[in-house]
Amino acid sequence: MSNPLLNKWNTPFNTAPFYKIKNEHYLPAIKQSIDEAREEINELKAVESANFQNTIVALEGSGKLLDIISSVFFNLHSAESDDELRDLAQEISPLLTQFSNDIMLDEELFLQVKTVFETTDQTQLNEGEKMLLNKTYKSFVRNGALLNEKDKEQLREIDQNLSKLKLDFGNHVLEETQRFEKHIENEKALSGLPKNAIIAAAEEAKSREKEGWVFTLDFPSYQAIIKYSDDRDLRKEMFLAFNSKAFKGDSLDNKEIVLSIAKLRYQRATLLAYTSHAHFVLEERMAKSPEKVTEFLQKLYDKALPIAQKEIQVLADFAKAQGFDGELQSYDTSFYAEKLKQSLFSIDDEVLKPYFSLDKVIDGAFNTATLLYGITFKERFDIDKYHPDVKTYEVIDKDGALLSVFYADYFPRKGKRAGAWMTSFQEQYKQKGIDHRPHISIVCNFNKPSGENPSLLTFNEVTTLFHEFGHALHGMLSKTEFKSLSGTNVYWDFVELPSQVMENWCFEKESLDHFAKHYKSNELIPEKLIDGIKKSANFMEATATLRQLSFGFLDMAWHGDSAIEEVTDGVALEENAIKGSRLFPKIGDTNTSCQFSHIFSGGYSSGYYSYKWSEVLDADAFEYFKEKGIYDPEVAERFHLLLSSGGTIDPELLYRDFRGRDASVDALLKRAGIS
C-alpha cells in the first residue's frame, strides 16, 4: 500500500493531502524519512574537504521530508487528536529524540562542523550565514557534543525520558479537560448567563444525547459561567474543576511528572556544565540570565502589587454595595469585575459581542495586514483540510506572488487541546534559487455559531485572534535563506513582539471602523463603545499583571534553582513561588503547575517571563506607530523588515534598527497605568 506522506503530493502549493492520510501512515513514514535523513548526513560526512556550503548548509538542508511529516503529525496531535494518535506519539517522539541525539552526539560530524566553524572567514559571510554557522556549532555544544561517552549516554536517557514525560503531561491535561461536563437540567441554574452561552450549552447537551444544558472546561464554556453566572456555588464548582486538572491523585495526576521533568531538566543542564535549566535556556535569550529575569519580574511586581491591592479593595467595596456579604474569592472576581466594568464604562462583552462576529474580525485582521504590508488573502476551497471547520487561504504579496498558505482553525472540539496558538506545516526557506513559501496555521477555541447567530467574540477573543494572527504574519512574511532562521525561529523573548503588537490595532477607532460592525444591522460600533473599550483597556490591569508575574515566578522556581534536586513536594514549591502574588485565599485542591502546559509540555520553560518582556517591546513599538500614524507606510515598512528577517539578526540589533533606539519600559508602564 502506498503511503501518501511519502508520495509526491501533487496538491495546490504542495499542501498536505489530509484526506488521504490515515493514522497507520505516520509511523512507517517517520521511520523511512529518518532513514533518508541519516543517508543525507552520511553523504555530507563523506566530503573530502569540509566547508560552509558542503557541511553547514548541507546539514541545514537535510531531513526536510522528516520535518514536514513530523509537523503534520504533531500539529494534528494538538488540533485533531484521538486515542490512536496519542498512542502513536508515544512511539514517534522517542524515535525523533533518538535521531536528534544521534546527530548532535555524532563525534565525526561534530568534528567536521567544528573544523568549518574554526576555519571559516566569517567576514566573507552575510549576516544570515554567520548566524547559521554560529548557531549550528553552538547547538552541537549545547546538546552534548563535548561530553564523554558515558555522559552522552546519560544525556540520551534523559532526553528520552523527557520526551515521554512531556507527552504524558499534555495528554493528561487534555483528557481531564475532555472528561469533565457540568450537566444542568434546571433552567433556574442558568440565571445571569448570556443567551449565546445558553444556546451553545443546549447544543452541547444535544450532541451528547442529553436533555438540558452541558457546560465543559473548554474556555468559552467555562468563561461564560465564571464571568456571568448568578449561582455562586456553580461558579465555585467550575473554578475548582478548571483549576484542579491533572491534580486529583488518580491516573491522570501530573504531580510526579512535573517533579520528574524539572529534575531531569536540571540534570541535563548540569551535565552540560550549566548551573540550572534556566541558565541553559537563557543563554540564548535576550534576557541572558535568570538573575536578569528575576530582576525584571521583581521590578514590575513592585510597581503592580500596591495598585493591584487597591483594585481588589475597590472590587470588594463594589461587591458589598451589590449586596455581597462575605470575603471575595477567586471565583468571584470575574463575576464582579464584569459588573464593575459595566458600571464604570457602560460596556460589557454581551453589548460588544454583536459587533464582533468572527467572520468580520477575520476580515479586520486581513485588512490590517493589507494596509500595513500590502498583502491580500484569497479563500481557497481546493486546499485539503484536516477538519471541515478549518478555513484555507492563499496569501498574496503586493506584487501578486504567493506569499504563504494559511490555515485557520477556530472552534473547540473533542481531541483538540485548549488555548490558542500559531504553528506551521512547512516553513519558509530558499534552495537552489527557489523561495519555498511557508504553510502557516492559527488554532483557537472560540464559540461555534449557534442557532441563527454567527460566532460572536468577546473583546478578549478579538485580541486573541489578532495576537495569533501577528504570529502568523511573522511566519508568512519571512524572507530568509535558511529554514532554521526563518519566521518565528527567533529568541523566545522576542517571538511575542509581532503577536502582541498586533493587539494594539483592536483598540484604535481607525482600525475598528473596518470590521466592528453589528452582525445584524451592519452598523458601525458606536463611538461611545470604542471610547469605553479604550478607557477600560487598563481596567484591573495591575491585577492581571500580577497574575502573569506569578506564572513567571513559578516558572523560575521550577527551573532556575539548583536546589530543585532536593524538592520532594512540588505543591509546596508552587505555594512558596506564588504566595507573594496571591490576592485571594487559596481555594481547595487547586494547582497551577500540574496543568501549566506552556512550561511542561510546550516551549516556555524558563521563558514565561517573555510575555511581559515582549510587552515592553510591543508597547514601545506601537508608540512609534501612533507617533507617525497606525498605518504609516514608512513605519510599516521598517516593521515589515523586522518581521521578514526572522532569526538572521540578533533581536536587540533588529529592534534598534526598527526603532532607532533600544526599547524603553516606560511605554509599557504608561500604557498599563502602573507607572
Residue 1 predicted with pLDDT over 70: no
Query: What does the chain come to in residues?
Result: 675
- Catalytic (active site) residue 615: no
Per-residue model confidence (pLDDT) at position 318: 97
Please state the domain count of the chain. 3
* Under 8 Å between Cβ of 386 and 74: no
Using a 10 angstrom Cβ sphere, with 0-12 exposed, 13-18 middle and 19 or more buried, the burial of residue 540 is buried
Residue 618 predicted with pLDDT over 70: yes
Residue 419: inside a domain: yes
248 pairs with which residues across the strands?
A: none
- Are both 114 and 232 inside the same structural domain? no
- Are both 97 and 233 inside the same structural domain? no
Characterize the bridge pairing of strands 213-215 and 182-184. antiparallel
- Are both 395 and 464 inside the same structural domain? yes
Residue 573: inside a domain: no
- Are both 115 and 18 inside the same structural domain? yes
450 pairs with which residues across the strands?
A: 453
Averaged pLDDT of the chain: 95
Residue 523 belongs to domain with CATH number: 1.10.1370.40
- Are both 399 and 535 inside the same structural domain? yes
Render pLDDT for 369-417 as a digit per residue (tens, 0 to 9): 999 999 999 999 999 999 999 999 999 999 999 999 999 999 999 899 9
Residue 129 belongs to domain with CATH number: 1.20.1050.40
pLDDT, mean of residues 65-80: 97
CA-based torsion, 227, 469, 423, 600: positive or negative: negative
**pLDDT level of residue 151 (50, 70, 90 thresholds):** very high
Per-residue model confidence (pLDDT) at position 670: 83
Of 427, 468, 481, 574, the catalytic one is 468
Per-residue model confidence (pLDDT) at position 117: 98
Range of the domain at 139: 12-104+106-146
Q: What is the DSSP string of 191-235?
A: TT--HHHHHHHHHHHHHTT-SSEEE-SSHHHHHHHHHH-S-HHHH
Residue 350 predicted with pLDDT over 90: no
Per-residue model confidence (pLDDT) at position 382: 97
Q: Which residues lie below 8 Å from residue 91, measured CB to CB, with a gap of 6+?
A: 27
Render pLDDT for 535-582 as a digit per residue (tens, 0 to 9): 898 999 999 999 999 999 999 999 999 899 999 999 999 999 999 999
The angle at the Cα of 452, spanning 448 to 455, to the nearest 5 degrees, equals 30
- Are both 137 and 198 inside the same structural domain? no
Q: 217, 242, 267: which is the final residue of a domain?
A: 242
Residue 675 predicted with pLDDT over 80: no
Render pLDDT for 239-255 as a digit per residue (tens, 0 to 9): 999 999 999 999 999 99
Render pLDDT for 310-337 as a digit per residue (tens, 0 to 9): 999 999 999 999 999 999 999 999 999 9
Residue 395: inside a domain: yes
Residue 673: inside a domain: no
User: What is the Cα–Cα distance from 332 to 329, expressed in whole angstroms?
Assistant: 5
Per-residue model confidence (pLDDT) at position 665: 85
- Are both 62 and 189 inside the same structural domain? no
Q: What is the pTM of this model?
A: 0.90
348 pairs with which residues across the strands?
A: none
pLDDT, mean of residues 119-131: 97
Cell of 23: 493514522
Render pLDDT for 205-248 as a digit per residue (tens, 0 to 9): 999 999 999 999 999 999 999 999 999 999 999 999 999 999 99
Residue 482: inside a domain: yes
What DSSP character marks residue 602? S
Render pLDDT for 171-180 as a digit per residue (tens, 0 to 9): 999 999 999 9
Cell of 7: 508520495
Q: Each residue of 35-46: b (16+ CB within 10 Å) or e?
A: ebbbebbeebbe
User: What is the Cα–Cα distance from 491 to 655, expressed in whole angstroms?
Assistant: 12
- Are both 214 and 92 inside the same structural domain? no
**pLDDT level of residue 466 (50, 70, 90 thresholds):** very high
Distances (CA, A) of 288 to 141, 291, 428, 571, 656: 17, 9, 28, 28, 18
Cell of 494: 522576542
- Are both 521 and 382 inside the same structural domain? yes
**pLDDT level of residue 349 (50, 70, 90 thresholds):** confident
Residue 163: inside a domain: no
**pLDDT level of residue 659 (50, 70, 90 thresholds):** very high
Per-residue model confidence (pLDDT) at position 451: 78
Share of the chain above pLDDT 90, in %: 93
Per-residue model confidence (pLDDT) at position 233: 97
Per-residue model confidence (pLDDT) at position 288: 94
Residue 485 predicted with pLDDT over 80: yes
The angle at the Cα of 387, spanning 385 to 393, to the nearest 5 degrees, equals 40
Per-residue model confidence (pLDDT) at position 331: 97
Amino acid at position 179, single letter: R
Residue 221: inside a domain: yes
- Are both 391 and 473 inside the same structural domain? yes
- Are both 51 and 198 inside the same structural domain? no
Cell of 465: 485572534
Residue 441: inside a domain: yes
User: What is the Cα–Cα distance from 341 to 347, expressed in whole angstroms?
Assistant: 7
Residue 298 predicted with pLDDT over 90: yes
Place of cell 474569592: 329
Residue 474 predicted with pLDDT over 70: yes
- Are both 427 and 523 inside the same structural domain? yes
